[in-house]
Amino acid sequence: MLKLPRLPDRTPVRLTVTLDAPLNADLKEYAALYEATYGDTESVSDLIPFMLRAFLDGDRAFTRARKDGLGDGDDPATPKRRRRRLGGEGSTDSPETTSQATSS
């Protein structure tokens, strides 16, 4: 087995979004600050994929959910949920305590 694993799919996907004016202004301001910080001019559209990656990588709940198998990472419309049986062998869960814990 090679030390380098098979490379992931790198096929770019084109995605079009509509932004409100304040968010667009913030993104342009961010690009200007990026240029002032690093001396490299990057367009907003070039920065956005990296900003989204940083956001997703920094979201602990999302990372935890993916590790728990709550999604396959490809299609959010088809979650993979592992259900835990209540009151099963060796379980101390009961429907009463579970519903209290989730109703906050």
Instruction: Give pLDDT tens digits for 28-73.
Output: 999 999 999 999 999 999 999 999 999 999 999 999 999 998 865 5
Asked if the structure places residue 44 within a domain, the reply is yes
- Checking if the pLDDT of 102 tops 50, the result is no
How many domains does the chain fold into? Answer: 1
Percent of the chain topping pLDDT 70: 67
The CA distances from residue 67 to 49, 82, 84, in Å, are 22, 11, 16
Structure tokens at 84: 């835990």
In a domain, 43, yes or no: yes
For the chain, percent of residues with pLDDT exceeding 90: 58
pLDDT of residue 94: 41
| Cα–Cα–Cα angle for 3, 8, 13, rounded to 5 degrees | 165
> Which token pair is 61?
């709940």
Quote the distance between the C-alpha of residue 67 and its chain's center. Answer: 12
pTM for this prediction: 0.60
Domain that holds residue 50: 19-70
